[in-house]
Amino acid sequence: MKPSLERLLGGRRTRPGRREFLKKATALFGAAAGTFWADETLDAAVQNVNRNSAPSQLKITDLRVAVVTGAPFTCPIIRIDTNQGIYGLGEVRDGASKTYALMLKSRILGMNPCNIEQIFRRLRQFGGHGRMAGGVVAIEEACWDLAGKVYGVPIYQMLGGKYRDQLRCYCDTPDSPDPKVFGERMKQRKEMGFTWFKMDIGINRFRNVPGAVSGYVQGMPVERGREHTISGIEITHKGAELMAEYIMKVREIVGWDVPIAVDHVGIMGENSIIRLAKAFEKCNLAWLEDVIPWYQTEQLKRITDTVDVPICTGEDIYLMDEFEKLCRNHVVDIIHPDLSTSGGILETKRIGDMAMRYGIPMAMHMAGTPVCAMANAHCAAATQNFLVMENHSVDIPWWDDLVTGVEKPILNKGFIRVPEGPGLGIDLNEEVVKQHLMMGESYFAPTPEWDRERSADQLYS
Ligand SMILES: [Mg+2]
For the chain, the domains span 3-37+158-419, 45-154+441-449
* 3-state SS assignment for residue 363: strand
Residue 217 CA to ligand 1 centre (angstroms): 26
The answer to whether residue 256 scores a pLDDT higher than 60 is: yes
The per-residue pLDDT for 457 is 87
The answer to whether residue 316 scores a pLDDT higher than 90 is: yes
Contacts of 425 (CB under 8 A, 6+ apart): 44, 148, 154, 155, 374, 378, 405, 406, 419
In tens, the pLDDT along 388-405 reads 999 999 999 999 999 999
Kindly report each contact of residues 446-452 with a partner whose C-beta sits within 8 Å and lies 24 or more positions away, as own/partner.
Answer: 446/62, 446/64, 447/62, 447/63, 447/64, 447/65, 447/102, 447/105, 450/63, 450/102, 450/103, 450/105, 450/106, 451/105, 451/106, 451/109, 452/106
**Which residue has better confidence, 329 or 19?**
329
Residue 344 CA to ligand 1 centre (angstroms): 18
Cβ atoms of 238 and 245 within 8 Å: the answer is: no
The answer to whether residue 47 scores a pLDDT higher than 60 is: no
Lowest mean pLDDT among 171-175, 286-290, 321-325, 418-422: 171-175
The per-residue pLDDT for 230 is 81
The per-residue pLDDT for 117 is 97
Rounded average pLDDT over 118-139:
97
Rounded average pLDDT over 276-299:
97
Residue 49 CA to ligand 1 centre (angstroms): 38
Residue 156 CA to ligand 1 centre (angstroms): 26
Band of pLDDT at residue 66, cut at 50, 70 and 90? very high
- Please choose, from the candidates 293, 290, 326, 288, the residue with its C-alpha nearest in 3D space to the C-alpha of residue 310: 288
Contacts of 362 (CB under 8 A, 6+ apart): 334, 335, 336, 337, 351, 352, 355, 356, 383, 385, 386, 387
Rounded average pLDDT over 18-22:
43
Position 149, amino acid:
K
Residue 292 CA to ligand 1 centre (angstroms): 11
Residue 250 CA to ligand 1 centre (angstroms): 19
Rounded average pLDDT over 410-428:
97
Residue 315 CA to ligand 1 centre (angstroms): 7
- Please choose, from the candidates 290, 234, 222, the residue with its C-alpha nearest in 3D space to the C-alpha of residue 262: 290
Residue 412's DSSP bridge partners are 415
The answer to whether residue 52 scores a pLDDT higher than 60 is: no
The per-residue pLDDT for 10 is 75
Residue 290 CA to ligand 1 centre (angstroms): 6
In tens, the pLDDT along 203-221 reads 988 988 999 998 877 776 6
**CA-to-CA distance for 292 and 283, rounded, in angstroms?**
20
Lowest mean pLDDT among 52-66, 305-319, 358-372, 430-444: 52-66
The per-residue pLDDT for 31 is 45
The per-residue pLDDT for 35 is 41
Lowest mean pLDDT among 29-33, 66-70, 372-376: 29-33
The per-residue pLDDT for 231 is 82
Q: DSSP assignment, residue 281?
A: G
The answer to whether residue 374 scores a pLDDT higher than 50 is: yes
Band of pLDDT at residue 104, cut at 50, 70 and 90? very high
Residue 389 CA to ligand 1 centre (angstroms): 12
The per-residue pLDDT for 224 is 64
Band of pLDDT at residue 21, cut at 50, 70 and 90? very low
Report the chain's mean pLDDT, rounded to a whole number: 91
Contacts of 218 (CB under 8 A, 6+ apart): 208
- Please choose, from the candidates 292, 207, 196, the residue with its C-alpha nearest in 3D space to the C-alpha of residue 243: 207
CATH number of 3-37+158-419: 3.20.20.120
Residue 291 CA to ligand 1 centre (angstroms): 9
- CA distance readout (Å), 217 to 205, 226, 231, 239, 415: 14, 15, 12, 16, 44
**CA-to-CA distance for 93 and 135, rounded, in angstroms?**
8
Rounded average pLDDT over 172-177:
91
The per-residue pLDDT for 40 is 44
What's the distance, CA 25 to chain centroid? 23
The answer to whether residue 448 scores a pLDDT higher than 60 is: yes
Residue 173 CA to ligand 1 centre (angstroms): 13
pTM of this prediction?
Answer: 0.88
Rounded average pLDDT over 150-167:
98
The per-residue pLDDT for 223 is 63
Band of pLDDT at residue 18, cut at 50, 70 and 90? very low
- Name the CATH superfamily housing domain 45-154+441-449: Enolase-like, N-terminal domain (3.30.390.10)
In tens, the pLDDT along 319-337 reads 999 999 999 999 999 999 9
Q: Do domains 3-37+158-419 and 45-154+441-449 have the same CATH topology?
A: no
> To 10 degrees, the CA torsion angle through 447, 453, 458, 461?
170
The per-residue pLDDT for 51 is 53
Residue 196 CA to ligand 1 centre (angstroms): 15
Residue 428 CA to ligand 1 centre (angstroms): 28
Residue 94 CA to ligand 1 centre (angstroms): 13
Band of pLDDT at residue 9, cut at 50, 70 and 90? confident
The per-residue pLDDT for 41 is 45
Residue 319 CA to ligand 1 centre (angstroms): 18
Rounded average pLDDT over 405-412:
96
